Amino acid sequence: MPAFTKTDFIWKNGTMMPWNEAQVHVTAHALQYGTGVFEGMRSYDSPNGAAIFRLDAHMRRFHASANAYELEIPYSIEQLSEASLDVLRANKLENAYLRPLAFFDSHSFSVWPKDCPVTVTIIAVPGKSYIEGGPEHGARVTVSTVRRIDASTLPPFVKACGHYTNSVRAVQEAIRRGYDDALLLNSKGDVAEGSGANLFVVKNGAVITNDLDASIVGGITREAVIQLATDLDLPVVIRPITLTDVELADELFFSGTAVEITPIKEVDGRVVGDGTPGPITRRLQKTFFDTVHGRVPQYHSWLSATGQTPGPTSGPTS
C-alpha cells in the first residue's frame, strides 16, 4: 500500500485527539514483543454518507483476536463501532482505510504482559489501492519460500501485530524478485494465502477457496465473496488449494479489506488465463463494488453509514 496521507484526528482511549498527539512510548510492550491486535476496514461513499463495510464483523473479530492473547479491550463492540464512524466524521473522510489497534502498553520488559495497560486506537486515512493498478489490471505474484505460520505455533486466524513478521518476510522476498506480492504455502505444502489477503481460484466456472485449517486468516471480505458468489449462482467449493490448482487455474484473485478484489495475472512468470482479469472475477468485482457503495439493497445490512455527506477533503476511492 502506498504511504498513507495524514489526517487531522485519531481516536485514542476514548478521546479524539490531533494526529501528532497520538504517541506511544518506546517501552510499550507491543513494540518490544508484538503484543497487539488490529483490524483493517474500509469505508466507501454511499447515499447515506461514508459507510464502513461490515463494521460489526470487523469489531467482533477484533475482540476475538484480543481474547486469544488475553488482551482485555475496555470498550464494547458498539462503542468501537460508533468511534469508528466518529473518526470518519472528524476527519471528513468518505472513501477511507481504517485501522483499529489494541496493544499492551508500557509497564515492564517481562515477556508476560501482566499489569501492562491496554491502549486502543482507531486511525482513518484516505483509501488507496493496496497494489497500484491491482483491482483493475491484476497483480504479479511469486510463491514464497517463507511458510505461513502454523496453528501448532501461533493461531493463524488471529490478526496479531507480531504475526505479520511472517508476511513481512514473504513480501520482502517477493518485491526483491520483482513481484507485487507473495503466495505462502502452509506446513502441509498447500497454498495458504497472500501476505495480507485470502486466495480464490476459478476453474471450470467454480469459485474455489480454502478454509481455516489451511492456516489462513478468516477474512471478512472472503466471507462476503463466498456469499456474493453463492447469490450469483456460481458454484463455490471450499477445500485445500494445491500448487497444481494455482498453475491450472482459469482465474485467480485475492480478497481482503486492503486489496478488495484484486485479480492475479501472473504467478512466477506463468500467465493466468489470457493475462487479463477473467469474467468471473470481473463479475464478482462489479457486484462487490456496487455493494460497498450502497447500490445493492440486498446487502445494505453490511454497511454502517455516518449519515452525512463529507466535504471536498474526502479521500479518493480505490
Catalytic residues: 159
Question: Residue 174 class from Cβ within 10 Å (0-12 exposed, 13-18 middle, 19+ buried)?
Answer: buried
CA 198 to chain centre: 9
The three three-digit cell numbers of residue 155, written as one number: 493461531
Q: Distance between CA atoms of 236 and 27, rounded to whole angstroms?
A: 47
Question: Residue 117 class from Cβ within 10 Å (0-12 exposed, 13-18 middle, 19+ buried)?
Answer: middle
Distances (CA, A) of 246 to 29, 135, 140, 202, 260: 40, 19, 13, 9, 20
What residues does 118 pair with on adjacent strands?
Answer: 104
Q: Please name the residue that has the C-alpha cell 491496554.
A: 118
CA proximity to 7, closest of 235, 314, 299, 316 = 314
CB 253 within 8 A of CB 262: yes
Give the helix, strand, coil percentages of the chain, each rounded to 5.
Answer: 30, 30, 40
Q: Distance between CA atoms of 192 and 216, rounded to whole angstroms?
A: 6
CB 93 within 8 A of CB 126: yes
Strand ranges in 1-95 using DSSP code E only, listed in sequence order: 9-12, 15-18, 36-38, 41-46, 49-53
